[in-house]
Structure 1
């Protein structure tokens, strides 16, 4: 389960960056809203998967509420999901 969570953390982080730095500028700078619609939808699905897997890992690995809260907040800040993934790799090794 941890392997899936770490992968989703990376993919969700990438989708967030694409949404913020590519799709949103296209929408507001060039009046081309289609990328936000599709990238936003994909990012939303990935975010739900991230949260679901976070809850599963919370139960399975008996993480503290502080850690789970931190990982949730990390998903809301650009670039931080990559730090979370590296932290988990350092702690649990390559899964």
Structure 2
């Protein structure tokens, strides 16, 4: 069971990171350079949903794997940094 939760967390983490990169790298430039705010509205909604799921996934991982507060804080911080969840996943893989 722990392995399936770990795999679920990895997928959520990657999807959240990709949605953030698409928001920053594609949707925001479309909005401000080409006056197309629709891209941000759609991508932002998807990213917001995935961010919420990512926070729930962090909570599940924290309980199941007995994460310390520093790791929980790091996982939350990773969501605010471009490529952050990818780096977090790499560190979790090494420490597993």
How many aligned residue pairs are there? 92
In structure 1, the residue matched to 2:26 is: 22
Deviation digits for residues 55-87 of structure 1 (CA, Å, limit 9, x no counterpart): 011001000011100110011011111111112
Q: Which ranges in structure 1 are unaligned for 5 or more consecutive residues? A: none
In structure 2, the residue matched to 1:8 is: 12
In structure 1, the residue matched to 2:63 is: 59
Counterparts of 1:9 and 1:35, CA distance in 2? 22
In structure 2, the residue matched to 1:33 is: 37
CA RMSD of aligned residues (A): 0.8
Offset at residue 2 of structure 1 (A)? 1.5
Counterparts of 2:95 and 2:12, CA distance in 1? 17
Give the TM-score of the pair, scaled to structure 1: 0.92
SS in structure 1 of the partner of residue 36 of structure 2 = coil
Give the TM-score of the pair, scaled to structure 2: 0.91
Q: Which ranges in structure 2 are unaligned for 5 or more consecutive residues? A: none
